[in-house]
Each structure stands twice: as structure tokens, then as C-alpha cells.
């Protein structure tokens, strides 16, 4: 017997994923590339957690690859392009924010517009995946 979907919890988390992605785009436009990458990582994390919460899985943690493994353990197919996006986005969780994550210089000095563009695209790719999967479950 399969547990019922938690639509309310899915929506709560999924809406914040959209807000984080919007923040990532705004920060990228403002030249705050490291913060855009972090917000994109957060959008991906919130989106994947929305899916897992919606399934009643109660995800814990911040590692995107681990969250992807939790989705796979829940019986969901995680395509290669989603795994790649999870790995790329996961790299921004610490390095985009902490000055001591780099040998020298501030995090902002290590990020450029191409990084922000890639991170935003990866976050959108991940949210598209979340929406496709949720739609197939809640259809």
C-alpha cells in the first residue's frame, strides 16, 4: 500500500524553490554571481525536498547528491542530466559563501557570469524534473 501524497507540503516547499530561483536570477543580473549560484543551489534543494516531502519521505540534510539518492530510493528515476545538475549545484553550497573555502580572495572573486548562468540553468532543469515527476504522481 502506497502512502497518500502530501500536496500541501509539496506546495509549501515548491513555492519557496521558485522564490529562490527568482532570487538567483536577480542576483545574477546584479553581478552578485556567487550569491546567484548559492540561491540556485537553494532552489534545487528546496525543489527536491518538495518532492520528497510530498512523498512523505521527510528529507533531512543539504547535500543535493544525497537528496537525489533519497529520491532514487523512493523508486523515482533520476536521469543522468539531473545527476549532473545535482553535482554541479552542490558545489555552490559552501564555496559560494565562505571566504575560507578558497585559498585566497573572497568567494565573489571566484565566480563569474558564466557560473551564475550555469547554476540558474541547472536549478531550472532540476525544478522541471521535480514538476514532471510530481505531475506523473499526482496526475
Q: Which domains does the chain have, with CATH numbers?
A: 7-137 (1.20.120.330)
Count Cα neighbours of 93 within 13 Å in the Cβ-side half-sphere: 15
Instruction: Determine contact, residues 57/9, Cβ cutoff 8 Å.
Output: no
10-43: pLDDT as tens digits: 999 999 999 999 999 999 999 999 999 999 999 9
DSSP state of 4: P
DSSP state of 110: G
Q: What was the pLDDT predicted at 2?
A: 61
Confidence of residue 1 (pLDDT cuts 50, 70, 90): very low
Burial class, 78, CB count within 10 angstroms (exposed 0-12 / middle 13-18 / buried 19+): middle
Mean pLDDT, residues 50-68 taken together: 94
Of residues 132 and 59, the one with the higher pLDDT is 132
Residue 6 has pLDDT above 80, yes or no: yes
Q: What's the whole-model pTM score?
A: 0.94
Of residues 47 and 1, the one with the higher pLDDT is 47
Residue 55 has pLDDT above 80, yes or no: yes
How far, in Å, CA of 49 to CA of 92, rounded?
A: 17
- Cell numbers that stand for 86 in this block: 545535482
Residue 134 has pLDDT above 50, yes or no: yes
Q: What was the pLDDT predicted at 3?
A: 66
66-101: pLDDT as tens digits: 999 999 999 999 999 999 999 999 999 999 999 999
Distance from the Cα of residue 49 to its chain's centroid: 9
How far, in Å, CA of 130 to CA of 49, rounded?
A: 9
Gyration radius of the chain's alpha carbons? 15
Helix (H) or strand (E) run with residue 85 in it: helix 80-90
Amino acid at each position: 500500500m502506497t502512502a497518500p501524497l502530501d500536496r500541501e507540503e509539496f506546495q509549501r516547499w515548491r513555492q519557496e524553490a521558485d522564490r529562490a530561483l527568482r532570487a538567483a536570477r536577480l542576483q545574477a543580473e546584479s553581478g552578485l554571481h556567487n550569491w546567484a549560484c548559492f540561491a540556485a543551489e537553494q532552489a534545487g534543494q528546496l525543489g527536491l525536498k518538495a518532492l520528497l516531502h510530498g512523498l512523505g519521505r521527510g528529507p533531512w540534510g543539504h547535500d543535493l547528491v544525497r537528496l537525489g539518492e533519497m529520491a532514487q530510493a523512493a523508486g523515482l528515476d533520476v536521469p543522468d542530466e539531473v545527476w549532473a545538475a545535482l553535482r554541479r549545484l552542490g558545489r555552490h553550497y559552501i564555496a559560494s559563501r565562505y571566504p575560507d573555502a578558497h585559498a585566497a580572495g573572497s568567494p565573489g572573486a571566484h565566480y563569474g557570469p558564466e557560473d551564475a548562468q550555469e547554476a540558474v540553468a541547472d536549478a531550472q532543469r532540476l525544478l522541471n524534473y521535480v514538476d514532471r515527476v510530481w505531475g506523473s504522481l499526482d496526475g
